[in-house]
Amino acid sequence: MKSLLVGAGVLNQTPLAWQGNLSRVRTVIAEARATGVGVLCLPELCLTGYGCEDAFHAPNTHRRAWRSLQDLLPETRGIVVSVGLPVFHQNGLFSCAAVVSDGQLLGLVAKRFLAGDGIHYEPRWFKPWPVGLKDDLLAPDDRRYPMGDLHFEIGGVRIGFEICEDAWVAARPGAMLAQYGVDLILNPSASHFAFGKLEVRKRFVLEGSRAFGVSYLYANLLGNEAGRAIYDGGALIASGGRLLAAGPRFSFRDHLLTTAVVDLDATRMSQARTASYRPDFADDNPLRISAPFVWPTRPPVRRLAPDFPPDPARDWEASTQLKEEEFTRAEALALFDYLRKSRAQGFVVSISGGADSAAVSCLVSIAAELALQECGADGVREKLRHIPNLPTPLTARSLTNCLLTTAYQSTENSGPTTRQAARSVAEAIGAQHYELDVQELHRGYLRTIEGAIGRTLDWKQDDIALQNIQARVRSPSIWLLTNLRNALLLSTSNRSEAAVGYATMDGDTSGGLSPIAGIDKAFLRHWLRWLQFSGPVGLHPIPALAAVNIQAPTAELRPPGAKQTDEDDLMPYDLLDAIERAAIRDKQSPIEVFDILQPVFPQYLTGQLGIWIERFFRLWSRNQWKRERYAPSFHLDDENLDPKTWCRWPILSGGFEEELVELRERVAEVQRIEAVRD
């Protein structure tokens, strides 16, 4: 055999959605077989869903996964398929790739290395499989199957595995598989999206295919699978260090199949030319599972040429504004999936006329437009069939109007600028918009408390309380609108505000989902300017955002004469974000943060910089309880502050008291040196 058509299947699965998950696996297998694919790689744990959390410890979960696997076997006539599932063996649970062919389960490869950092928690549920060990699984059907650190020889083609994290570690299994002379390495993955992560994946796929002298198939999950993590898909197929095919990312489809023709002779000769390669002559290698198979015939291979045509719809991947494009498409897909999987009938946003609520509202509109572009009106109707009375015709604007309700809620401290900005954005994107006056509700609370405590509340003595009650009084009405529509209330907090607790609990944090809590304010403001003038490739700008972008961010909770701005309350946002990265992401102490940032921000006086750094650390320590209570957010990068998935911190702590004394001493020392120099 000289050439073989191989495929990587990308799936949008849902944890514990048994029939839906199985149906999507069946569909992609059928498509692969009809295309003439000989080997198909599917994502890690695709039968159960990757994000089952502690449900992995329920016996029902792995029993049903096994039942799904058995149901799939008849679908594998004439094709070799790798499908992921959890397997219970010797009182341990293992993440496995089941290799099935011609209706038979040939064996189960167990994952060697478990992801246990950052967003991942695999060691809580799974056990790592020891290197070089093979065992027999006594399955629920009372049959025994080989399981462990296996590779396969099927119809003369040798196939090995690196399961997701296996490829991210230094001692990746591919080195040993190369010694066994494998032709293909399959990587079933559940690799969540993060900015810039695609390039890392490409490197290990390409380098693995080159260094091991193989063809390499990488298959990932897609969409908002379980709530917080976003999977971007992006199947990859490489051979001999060259990329043959790359699948789309952030697709709104249920599944995607990426294929390429690989030249087995070429990779085998590559191993022959490698001085370090030592042939494995043992016919009885205990880790090798052999099975006969008749491969589909293929025309002669086009050596090392890309097997996929240019796609104008994917021009955004080459954009110079890649982070902006990735943010837009990741958020849009996550919102659309969250809507349909939660069976909510729309979204509601308390739109203030500021940057955060405008960004969230625009992202909902973009989700509607991208879904229609890719799936068409009929496809969107099918995906949103739980929502009654979808409009006809179904356009981006009519769909946004159906899905998104916005409300501007004014008090006496609200101004005409924010009111007009909120209205302009809502009208531009087609949202159903309301203007609600909550001043009487606000006054009612003040009268009630003033009567109870026997004095008048005033701004000099009661500043924070008077600000917070305005934010909180807006919560009941926006929740009422949400409930009337059986919708999902979107909170508009961003990561910069979460870091310092600049939000009113049960006020502007009210919501069931906080889509932008994983991104910093400085980037959001930049993104909104980009969206105003340019916007994503294939879509259109939103000029109405000018009314938002010309404003200085403000909570608008103090009287207008106070001229309140967020940065006056806190510090400049670019500095806040830099402090957060140094202190939280990079784990630097207050004095180290000062030493790092002083030369980076020379425009600020030394004493003022010290005050702002101290303010950050005090507010960070004081407000962990708020971060614990924020609505679920989407994971976008390793600067996430979500304590459920990434950044854990004690609610009660020493608050950096000793460290802040050291900071003040360092600031005073630097000021003395500056005074002498001047």
- Do 336 and 302 reside in the same domain of the chain? no
Task: In whole angstroms, give the CA distance from residue 640 to residue 495.
Answer: 7
- What is the Cβ-side half-sphere exposure of residue 656, based on CA atoms within 13 angstroms? 25
Q: Residue ranges of the alpha helices (H) in 180-312?
A: 197-211, 264-273
pLDDT of residue 311: 65
**Domain match, 247 and 360 both:** no
Looking at residue 192, what DSSP letter applies? B
Let me know whether 388 and 298 are in one domain.
no
CATH code where residue 302 lies? 3.60.110.10
List the structure tokens of 329.
Answer: 């498409």
Closest to 34 (Cα-Cα) out of 89, 1, 77, 87 = 77
What pLDDT shows up at residue 298? 61
Q: In this structure, are 393 and 271 located in the same domain? A: no
Are 578 and 563 contained in the same domain?
A: no
In angstroms, rounded to a whole number, what is the distance separating the alpha carbons of residues 495 and 196? 19
Give residue 598's pLDDT.
96
Q: Are residues 537 and 388 in the same domain?
A: yes
Q: pLDDT digits over 301-360, tens only?
A: 444 444 445 566 678 999 999 999 999 999 999 999 999 999 999 999 999 999 999 999
Q: Which pLDDT score is estimated for 38?
A: 97
Mean pLDDT of the chain: 94
Q: Mean pLDDT of residues grouped by 10 in the chain (678 residues)?
A: 92 98 98 96 98 96 97 96 98 98 97 93 96 95 95 97 96 94 97 96 97 97 96 97 97 98 92 76 82 79 46 82 98 98 98 96 98 97 96 97 97 92 98 96 95 95 93 96 98 94 92 96 96 96 97 81 85 95 96 97 97 97 95 93 90 96 96 88
E strands in 438-594: 488-490
Per residue in 603-634, pLDDT tens?
999 999 999 999 999 999 999 999 999 999 99
Place of tokens 């009650």: 469
Tell whether 577 and 502 lie within a shared domain: no
Tokens of 503: 């939000």
Q: How far is CA 512 from the centre of its chain?
A: 17
User: Of 567, 598, 622, which residue sits at a domain end?
Assistant: 567
Is there a single domain that holds both residue 287 and residue 321? no
Q: What tokens appear for 40 in the block?
A: 């198909």
CA proximity to 108, closest of 147, 64, 163: 147
From residue 650, alpha-carbon distances to 124, 641, 655 in Å are 20, 13, 10
Please give the pLDDT value at position 301.
Answer: 45
Q: What angle do CA 252, 256, 260 make, to 5 degrees?
A: 145
Same domain (yes/no): 38, 127: yes
Is 178 in the same domain as 263? Answer: yes
CB atoms within 10 A of CB 423: 18
Q: Return the pLDDT at 556.
A: 75
- pLDDT reported for residue 305: 44
* Among candidate residues 279, 309, 339, the one where a domain is terminated: 309
Q: b or e along 191-221 (b: 16 or more beta carbons within 10 Å of the residue's beta carbon)?
A: bbbbbebbeebbebbbbbbbebbbbbbbbbb
Kindly report the three-state secondary structure assignment for every residue of 423-483: HHHHHHHCCEEEEEECHHHHHHHHHHHHHHHCCCCCHHHHHHHHHHHHHHHCHHHHHHHHH
Cis ω on the peptide bond leading into residue 650 (within 30° of 0)? no
Distance of alpha carbon 37 from alpha carbon 351, whole angstroms = 50
- Give the list of residues 6+ apart from residue 521 with CB closer than 8 angstroms, or none: 355, 356, 494, 495, 496, 497, 553, 566, 573, 576, 577
What residues does 221 pair with on adjacent strands? 11
Residue 10 Cα to chain centre, angstroms: 15
Residue pointed to by tokens 């401290």: 413
CA distance 353 to 423: 8
Domain-terminating residue out of 518, 548, 567: 567
Radius of gyration for the chain, computed over Cα atoms and rounded to the nearest angstrom: 28
Q: Which CATH number does the domain housing residue 369 bear?
A: 3.40.50.620
- CB-CB contact of 288 with 180 (8 Å): yes
Q: Which domain holds residue 153?
A: 3-309
Whether residues 211 and 162 fall in one domain: yes
Residues, the chain: 678
Task: Enumerate residues 6+ apart whose C-beta is below 8 A from 519.
Answer: 327, 494, 495, 636
**Alpha-helix runs per DSSP H in 218-316:** 264-273
Q: What is the pLDDT of residue 281?
A: 65
184 and 82 inside one domain = yes
**How many domains is the chain partitioned into structurally?**
3
Contact 76, 29 (CB under 8 A): yes
CB burial of residue 322 (10 Å; 0-12, 13-18, 19+): middle
Tell me, what amino acid is at 453?
I
What is the DSSP track for 48-95? T-TT-GGGGGSHHHHHHHHHHHHHHGGGGTT-EEEEEEEEEETTEEEE
Supply the pLDDT for residue 306: 47
Please state the pTM of the whole predicted model: 0.95
